[in-house]
C-alpha cells in the first residue's frame, strides 16, 4: 500500500478540481486593468458527486468527516441523519457512501478513521439517473472511476483553500522618475505588491513592467493597477475590491514584473514598497543540476531553470505576464524540461487534466489542431518518465473521445485539414507560410497521436484500431510529401496541388518521431536543417525541436554554439528570464515588441527554458528506456565542452553524471542503467559508483 493510501486525503471527482482551478487560474490575466479571459471553451466541475467504498471491519470504527459542500451519508443504502462530523461504522461488511453537492467549488470529501480513510482507493461518480436508480447494483455501468487526489491531507484545509506559498522580497534599487518612484527588483518575478505606512487620501497608480521601458510608459504599459485610498477604506479598482483601511496593504492579485513605477496623487503617500513573491514550484527529493567548463552555458542553464520555476505554478503556464494561460503546445515542452529539473509529476497531471476538460468534445484543445495532437503525446511521455500506468488508465477514455472528434474531422484520405473553426498554429514565423490545406507537419503530429493511442491501448490490454490507422496515415504522408528531388518533406497540399515550400518544421519532426530512414535523415540534415537557404526558426518554441533533431543526429558540437549564440544573445541583451521570441538582428526596444504592440512580447516564457531538456537528455545523455526508469541509458556527449557534470531526477531519486577528459562517472539511486560510450556498454548497478576511463 502506498503512503498516500495509508493517510486520509481530500478526494474529488477526477479532473474536477483541476478544471475548477484552471478556470480561476486562466481568468486572472489582465491587460491595462481589464480582465482578459481565454478564448476557448471552459468547462465546469460536476455539482454533485458520490463517493463510495466497501469495508470489512473487525471492530466498530469512528470516522471524522469533512466536506466542501453539503452532503448526505448512506450506510448499506440507508440514509443516515443529518451531516455528522463523526460517525461510527459498525463491525462487519458495509458499503459507505457520501453524496456531496457544491456549485461554487468541486464537491470534495475527507474521511479519517483508524483504518477507514479517504484516498485513491475510493470510487467516485457524478450523479446520473442510472446510478441513483441502481444504487449498489450498477458497478459495471462504467461510471465509476478512482477518485483523484492531490496530497491535501489536512481536514481543516480543503482543496479550494489552496494557495501557492509566498515570501517577502524587496527591490534592489529605487529611483525617482518624473512624478513617481521606479523600483527595480533585480530580475523578473511574480507576486503581490505590498505597501507599508499608507498615509493621507488619494490615488496610487501602479505600472508593472517586465522591462524598464514598459513600466515607465504610462500610455502603453500593459499591466496596471490603481488603489483609491479613503479615510476608512481602500478600493482596488482593478477588481472592484474594497477593504478596511489599514496602514499596510497587499494587492489581492499577483502580477509579473521586474520594474514597478508608482505615482501617488491627491495627497496620499506610501512608505516601504515590496512584494510577496508567489512561489510556483515545490521542493522535491530529487533536483536536476548542470555545470560545465563553459561559464556562459552555466548561466544559460541557471536562467532556464529560473524561467521554468516561474512558469511552474498551479499549472504549467506559458508566460507569467502574457498569456498566463495553459497552452498544450507550450505545456508539453514544460513537461519534458520538468523531467530534467524538478520531476513535479503532480503539476504534469494537473495540467493534462485541465487542458482536456470534459466531454463532449466540441473543439480542439486551445482551439489549435496541433495542440490537440501534442496533448496525446504528452500522456505517453509522462508514462515513460514516471511509470504511472494508473494515470494512463484514467485518461484513456477521454483520449478516445478526443480522438473520435479528430477522426470525424479528417478528409477523405484520412488526413487532417484545418476547418473554419480551427487554428493551425505550427509556429510564429517571420516569413510567409501558408497554413491552409493539408499540411505535412499536421499529418506527422496526427500520426504520432494515433501511435500514442495504440501504445496506450496496448499498455492497458485493450484492442484498438489506432495502430493500423497510424500505419496507413504514415504511408500516405510519405507518399504524398516526401520529395527525393528536394531531399525533404514538402509543405502542404492546397486546392489539390502541392505547395513545394520546404520548411524545417515537418522535416525535424520526421527525425524526432522516427518517420525518416537513415538515408532520409542524412539528406534532411544536409539539405534542410543545415541549409542556410531554408528559413531560420526565430522562436525558442520550435528551436526546442530543431536542437533535439540535431542532437539525435549526433550534432551536439553544432548545438553548443547555437545555444550560446541564441540563449546567450538574450543574456547579453539583459534577460533575467528567457523570452517568447528572440531575433538577434533586432535592437533595443525592438526586442520588447510583438503582435503590433510595443510591449507585447513575453519576457518570461516557458518554452524559452529548453536548454534544461537538451543538456540533460543529449549532453549528460540520460533517458529512460523503460517506463519509470526501470531501465535507462546514459550516453554522454561533451559536444566541445572540456568537462561537465550534473544530475537528473527520476522516480527513485537521482542519476548523477560526471564527464572528464579521462573518465566518465555515473551513480544512480535505482533502476537498471547502461552507460554507453561508443561501442562499449557498461552496466550501472543501483547505488554503486561506476567510473570508466576514456581513451
Is the distance from CB of 642 to CB of 659 less than 8 angstroms?
Answer: no
User: In the prediction, which pLDDT does 121 show?
Assistant: 84
pLDDT in the model for residue 142: 31
The band of 240, judged by pLDDT with boundaries at 50, 70 and 90, is confident
The whole-number pLDDT of residue 237 equals 80
**pLDDT score recorded for residue 568:** 98
- Per the DSSP assignment, residues forming a β-bridge with 410 are 416
Give the residue from 98, 107, 122 showing the smallest Cα distance to 68.
107
Q: In the predicted model, is pLDDT for residue 281 greater than 80? A: no
pLDDT at 130 over 70: no
Q: Which residues are CB-neighbours of 676 under 8 A, at least 6 positions away? A: 621, 633, 634, 635, 682
DSSP state of 258: E
Q: Is the pLDDT score of 109 beyond 50?
A: yes
Q: What is the pLDDT of residues 542-562, one digit of tens each?
A: 999 999 999 999 999 999 999
Q: What is the pLDDT of residues 20-54, one digit of tens each?
A: 999 999 998 888 888 899 999 999 999 999 999 99
pLDDT above 90 coverage of the chain, percent: 86
Residues 548, 551, 557: CA angle, nearest 5 degrees: 130
As a whole number of angstroms, the distance between CA 606 and CA 327 comes to 11
Beta strands in 564-688 (DSSP E): 622-624, 631-634, 644-650, 653-659, 663-668, 672-677, 680-684
Torsion angle in degrees (nearest 10) through CA of 614, 617, 618, 619:
90
- C-beta contacts of 229-235 below 8 A and 24+ residues apart: 229/198, 229/200, 229/201, 229/202, 229/203, 229/204, 229/268, 230/201, 231/201, 234/198
CA distance 91 to 401: 43
Distance between CA atoms of residues 171 and 224, nearest Å: 18
Binned at pLDDT 50, 70 and 90, residue 653 comes out as very high
Cα angle: 548, vertex 549, 552; to 5 degrees: 85
DSSP assignment letter at 675: E
**Which of 30-44, 81-95, 271-285, 506-520 is least confident?**
271-285
Q: Is the pLDDT of residue 106 over 50?
A: yes
Buried b (16+ CB within 10 A) or exposed e, 328-346: bbbbbbbbbbbbbbbbbbe
How many CA atoms does the CB half-sphere of 6 hold within 13 Å?
Answer: 3
Helical H runs in 280-321? Answer: 295-311
Q: In what order do the strands lie in the sheet with 644-650?
A: 289-292, 644-650, 653-659, 663-668, 689-693
Helix axis angle, 540-552 relative to 504-512, nearest 10°? 50
> Which pLDDT belongs to residue 5?
53
Q: Which residue has the cell 504514415?
A: 474
Residue 323 pLDDT: 93
pLDDT digits (tens, 9 = 90+) for 164-221: 889 999 999 999 998 999 999 999 999 999 999 999 999 999 999 999 999 999 999 9
- Give the pLDDT of residue 145: 38
**Residue 518: Cβ-neighbour burial (10 angstroms; 0-12, 13-18, 19+):** exposed
What was the pLDDT predicted at 137?
30
Quote the pLDDT of residue 690: 97
The pLDDT of residue 128 is 53
User: Which string of DSSP letters, residue by residue, matches 170-238?
Assistant: --SEEEEETTEEEEEEEEEEEEEEEE-S-BSSEEEEEEEESSHHHHH-TTT-SEEEEEEE-SSEEEETT
How many residues comprise the chain? 695
Q: Say if CB 230 and CB 245 are below 8 A apart.
A: yes
Distance CA 635, CA 525 (A): 21
Average per-residue pLDDT for the chain: 93
Least confident of 281-295, 385-399, 425-439: 281-295
Q: What is the pLDDT of residue 489?
A: 98
Q: What is the pLDDT of residues 659-678, one digit of tens each?
A: 999 999 999 999 999 999 99
Grid cell in block for residue 12: 474529488
Those residues whose C-beta lies under 8 Å from the C-beta of residue 444, and which sit 6 or more positions away, are 477, 489, 506, 509, 510, 513, 515
pLDDT digits (tens, 9 = 90+) for 321-365: 999 999 999 999 999 999 999 999 999 999 999 999 999 999 999
According to the model, what pLDDT value does residue 284 have? 61
What pLDDT sits at residue 34?
A: 87
Tell me how far apart the alpha carbons of residues 424 and 565 are, in angstroms, rounded to a whole number: 30
Mean pLDDT in residue range 434-444 = 96
SS3 assignment for 19-73: HHHHHHHHCCCEECCEECCCCCCCCCCCCEEEEEEEEEECCCEEEEEEEECEEEE
DSSP one-letter code for 13: S
Burial letters 133-161, b for 16+ CB under 10 A, else e: eeeeebeeeebebbbbbbebbebeebbbe
Which residues share a beta bridge with 101?
48, 70
Long-range contacts of the stretch 150-156 (C-beta < 8 A, 24+): 150/10, 150/17, 150/346, 150/350, 151/4, 151/9, 151/346, 152/9, 152/10, 152/110, 153/7, 153/8, 153/9, 153/10, 155/8, 155/64, 155/66, 155/110, 155/112, 156/66
Cα(first)–Cα(last) distance of the chain, in Å?
48
pLDDT at 150: 55
Q: Give φ, ψ of 92 to 5 degrees.
A: 110, -170
| Interatomic CA distance for residues 171 and 360, integer angstroms | 48
The H or E element containing residue 543 is helix 540-552
Residue 72: name the closest of 64, 61, 80, 60 by CA.
80
Beta-strand relationship, 680-684 and 241-244: unpaired
Cβ–Cβ < 8 Å for 154, 193: no
Strands (E), 116-160: 123-126, 145-146, 148-149
Q: Are 297 and 305 in contact (CB under 8 A)?
A: no
| C-alpha distances out from residue 677 to 283, 637, 654, 680, 695, Å | 33, 9, 20, 5, 10
Is 485 or 136 the better-scoring residue by pLDDT? 485
Mean per-residue pLDDT, 284-294: 87
Q: For the residues 457-484, what does the mean pLDDT come to?
A: 97
Rounded to whole angstroms, the Cα distance separating 263 from 308 reads 32
Q: How confident is the model at residue 123 (pLDDT cuts 50, 70, 90)?
A: confident
* In 47-179, beta strands by DSSP E: 48-57, 61-68, 70-75, 78-79, 86-89, 92-101, 108-112, 123-126, 145-146, 148-149, 166-169, 173-177
SS3 state at 590: helix
CA distance to 190, 287, 445, 609, per residue, from 342 (Å): 19, 5, 27, 13
Amino acid at each position: 500500500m502506498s503512503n498516500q493510501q495509508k493517510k486520509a486525503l481530500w478526494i474529488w471527482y477526477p479532473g474536477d478540481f483541476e478544471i475548477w482551478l484552471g478556470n480561476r487560474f486562466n481568468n486572472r490575466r489582465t491587460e491595462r486593468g481589464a480582465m482578459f479571459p481565454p478564448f476557448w471553451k471552459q468547462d465546469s466541475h460536476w455539482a454533485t458527486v458520490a463517493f463510495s467504498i466497501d469495508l470489512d471491519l473487525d471492530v466498530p470504527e469512528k470516522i471524522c468527516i469533512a466536506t466542501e459542500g453539503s452532503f448526505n451519508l448512506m450506510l448499506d443504502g440507508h440514509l443516515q441523519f443529518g451531516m455528522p462530523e463523526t460517525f461510527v461504522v459498525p463491525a462487519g461488511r458495509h458499503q459507505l457512501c457520501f453524496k456531496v453537492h457544491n456549485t461554487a467549488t468541486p464537491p470534495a470529501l475527507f474521511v479519517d478513521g483508524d483504518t477507514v480513510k479517504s484516498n485513491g482507493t475510493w470510487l467516485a461518480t457524478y450523479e446520473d439517473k442510472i446510478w441513483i436508480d441502481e444504487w449498489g447494483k450498477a458497478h459495471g455501468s462504467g461510471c465509476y472511476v478512482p477518485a483523484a487526489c492531490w496530497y491535501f491531507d489536512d481536514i481543516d484545509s480543503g482543496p479550494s483553500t489552496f494557495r501557492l506559498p509566498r515570501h517577502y522580497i524587496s527591490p534592489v534599487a529605487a529611483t525617482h522618475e518624473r512624478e513617481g518612484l521606479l523600483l527595480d527588483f533585480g530580475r523578473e518575478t511574480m507576486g503581490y505588491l505590498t505597501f507599508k505606512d499608507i498615509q493621507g487620501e488619494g490615488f496610487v497608480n501602479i505600472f508593472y513592467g517586465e522591462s524598464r521601458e514598459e513600466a515607465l510608459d504610462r500610455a502603453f504599459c500593459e499591466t496596471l493597477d490603481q488603489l483609491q485610498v479613503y479615510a476608512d477604506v481602500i478600493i482596488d479598482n482593478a477588481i472592484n475590491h474594497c477593504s478596511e483601511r489599514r496602514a499596510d496593504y497587499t494587492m489581492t492579485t499577483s502580477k509579473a514584473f521586474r520594474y514597478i513605477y508608482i505615482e501617488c496623487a491627491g495627497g496620499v503617500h506610501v512608505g516601504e514598497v515590496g512584494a510577496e513573491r508567489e512561489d510556483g514550484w515545490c521542493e522535491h527529493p530529487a533536483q536536476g543540476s548542470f555545470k560545465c567548463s563553459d561559464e556562459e552555458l552555466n548561466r544559460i542553464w541557471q536562467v532556464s531553470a529560473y524561467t521554468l520555476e516561474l512558469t511552474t505554478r498551479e499549472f504549467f503556464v506559458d508566460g507569467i505576464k502574457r498569456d498566463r494561460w495553459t497552452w498544450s503546445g507550450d505545456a508539453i515542452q514544460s513537461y519534458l524540461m520538468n523531467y530534467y529539473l524538478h520531476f513535479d509529476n503532480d503539476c504534469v497531471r494537473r495540467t493534462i487534466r485541465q487542458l482536456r476538460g470534459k466531454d463532449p468534445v466540441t473543439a480542439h484543445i486551445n482551439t489549435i489542431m496541433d495542440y490537440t495532437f501534442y496533448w496525446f503525446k504528452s500522456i505517453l511521455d509522462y508514462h515513460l518518465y514516471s511509470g504511472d500506468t494508473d494515470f494512463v488508465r484514467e485518461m484513456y477514455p477521454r483520449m478516445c473521445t478526443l480522438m473520435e472528434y479528430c477522426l470525424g474531422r479528417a478528409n477523405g484520405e484520412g488526413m487532417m485539414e484545418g476547418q473554419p473553426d480551427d487554428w493551425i498554429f505550427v509556429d510564429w514565423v517571420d516569413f510567409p507560410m501558408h497554413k491552409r490545406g493539408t499540411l505535412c507537419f499536421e499529418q506527422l503530429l496526427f500520426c504520432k497521436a494515433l501511435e500514442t493511442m495504440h501504445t496506450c491501448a496496448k499498455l492497458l490490454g485493450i484492442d484498438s484500431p489506432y495502430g493500423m490507422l497510424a500505419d496507413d496515415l504514415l504511408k500516405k504522408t510519405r507518399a504524398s510529401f516526401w520529395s527525393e528531388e528536394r531531399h525533404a518533406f514538402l509543405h502542404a497540399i492546397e486546392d489539390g496541388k502541392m505547395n513545394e515550400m520546404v520548411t524545417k518544421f515537418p522535416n525535424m519532426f520526421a527525425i524526432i518521431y522516427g518517420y525518416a530512414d537513415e538515408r532520409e535523415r542524412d539528406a534532411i540534415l544536409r539539405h534542410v536543417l543545415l541549409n542556410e537557404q531554408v528559413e531560420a526558426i526565430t522562436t525558442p518554441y520550435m528551436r526546442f525541436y530543431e536542437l533535439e533533431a540535431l542532437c539525435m543526429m549526433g550534432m551536439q558540437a553544432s548545438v553548443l554554439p547555437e545555444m550560446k549564440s541564441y540563449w546567450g544573445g538574450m543574456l547579453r541583451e539583459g534577460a533575467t528570464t528567457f523570452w517568447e521570441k528572440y531575433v538577434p538582428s533586432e535592437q533595443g526596444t525592438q526586442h520588447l515588441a510583438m503582435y503590433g504592440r510595443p510591449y507585447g512580447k513575453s519576457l518570461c516564457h516557458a518554452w524559452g527554458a529548453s536548454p534544461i531538456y537538451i543538456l540533460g537528455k543529449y549532453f549528460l545523455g540520460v533517458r529512460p528506456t523503460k517506463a519509470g526508469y526501470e531501465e535507462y541509458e546514459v550516453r554522454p556527449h561533451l559536444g566541445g565542452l572540456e568537462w561537465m557534470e550534473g544530475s537528473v531526477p527520476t522516480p527513485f531519486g537521482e542519476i548523477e553524471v560526471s564527464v572528464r577528459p579521462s573518465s566518465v562517472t555515473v551513480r544512480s539511486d535505482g533502476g537498471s542503467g547502461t552507460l554507453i560510450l561508443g561501442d562499449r556498454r557498461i552496466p550501472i548497478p543501483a547505488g554503486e559508483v561506476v567510473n570508466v576511463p576514456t581513451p
